[in-house]
Amino acid sequence: METTTTENTEACAVIGRMEEQDHEQLLFCNDRTTGLKAIIAVHDTTLGPALGGTRMWPYANEFAALSDVLRLSRGMTYKSALAGLDLGGGKAVIIGDARTGKSEAMFRRFGRFVDSLNGRYITAEDVGMTTVEMVNIRKETKYVAGLPESQGGSGDPSPVTAYGVFCGIRAAARTAFGTDSLSGRKVSVQGAGNVGRYLVGHLLDAGATVYLTDIHEDKLAAIKKDRPTVNIVAPADVLALDVDIYSPCALGATVNDESLKLLKCSVIAGAANNQLAVEAVHGPALMEKGILYAPDFLINAGGIINCAWELRGYDRKAALQQTEGIYDTALNIFKTSREEHIPTYLAANRAAEARIRSVRQAGLSF
């Protein structure tokens, strides 16, 4: 069958996008019966099968979905490599409204697409997904993690993520202040969600003074009820607070041109993905301002570590122990950043790339 010039151009555009950041494989999924429209991206499988969640989001168009899945899957490669996991990076996006567009059949169909990759991609929960969908996917494929505990899974990864973030904060404090004790340190936490609420508990237990904000009053009230010593602040005030540590645990891109003018902290260390609006701009800008940035994909790896343990037979204690390794990894990244005068995100990227390269060069790829 002949192809038209337009078709050729569009195909090149997609493969060209894959070439830009070295993605291995994309699977475009369409099912008229269930309305499923999805893209699965396998970025790199050098270290192992590509593990990463599925996000359901009402993308404006398929190009927005493609951009997101390419960016997110690459991020997973770096996160797992740096966490020392034998996993590669992947991600999936489903184009649709998570509140209205779900059905059992859709997720079972999606599960079959995941299965067709024969273990090169393992899915898990992400934005817009719940354990209900994971259970439906599991009906069609074994390549899924993040199942509820009642189904033999590891359950909600947020407590483990929060613990890893706490370890990263302590490592950053040691580098910035000469001690990892958080006693008396002022810490602002932006986001009282699944991770934020557990993190607040660790910080208060460690003797920190915590300033917490969220756009939802009920979430703040619930935490305040459990932990009355937490200080509640308005969302608009959190960036300009005079604190030692700012911990973004809500959305990405909160480190940007505007927030840089307001921030008074010495350390930024939180759970939110993609905190730097533009890595190459805001990474160096933080360095110039003397703010130590703990790369998000380094310190929020507790969740993926938890999933990795589910795959090999879940052991909560072992997952937490491995998550504690974030402390030493972070210290090393901060040291490299100082010695080589490079932003911390770059030091972290290079460490991840070096691990992948060495395994590939030794012919040990998955």
- Note the residues at the interface with ligand NAD (CB under 6 A): 157-158, 161, 190-196, 213-216, 219, 235, 249-251, 271-273, 300, 303
CB-based contact 305:142 (threshold 8 Å): no
Of 271, 263, 221, 222, nearest in space to 245 by CA: 263
Quote the radius of gyration of the chain (alpha carbons, Å): 21
- d(CA 228, CA 56) in angstroms, rounded, equals 36
Cβ 307 to ligand NAD shortest distance, Å: 9
CB-based contact 117:27 (threshold 8 Å): yes
Cβ proximity to ligand NAD, 46 vs 154, nearer residue? 154
- d(CA 143, CA 121) in angstroms, rounded, equals 7
Cβ 208 to ligand NAD shortest distance, Å: 19
Cβ proximity to ligand NAD, 200 vs 351, nearer residue? 200
Catalytic residues: 91
Cβ proximity to ligand NAD, 195 vs 285, nearer residue? 195
- d(CA 271, CA 274) in angstroms, rounded, equals 9
Cβ proximity to ligand NAD, 49 vs 196, nearer residue? 196
Give the phi and the psi of residue 348 in degrees, each rounded to 5. Answer: -70, -45
Cα dihedral 13→17→20→24 (10° resolution): -120
Strand, coil or helix: what is 37?
strand
Cβ 22 to ligand NAD shortest distance, Å: 23
Cβ 204 to ligand NAD shortest distance, Å: 17
Of 159, 170, 168, 250, nearest in space to 207 by CA: 170
Give me 75's structure tokens: 């991020």
Give me 9's structure tokens: 């151009």
Cβ 294 to ligand NAD shortest distance, Å: 13
Cβ proximity to ligand NAD, 91 vs 109, nearer residue? 91
Of 313, 269, 46, nearest in space to 176 by CA: 269
Cβ proximity to ligand NAD, 179 vs 231, nearer residue? 231
Cβ 302 to ligand NAD shortest distance, Å: 7
- d(CA 146, CA 223) in angstroms, rounded, equals 25
CB-based contact 147:131 (threshold 8 Å): yes
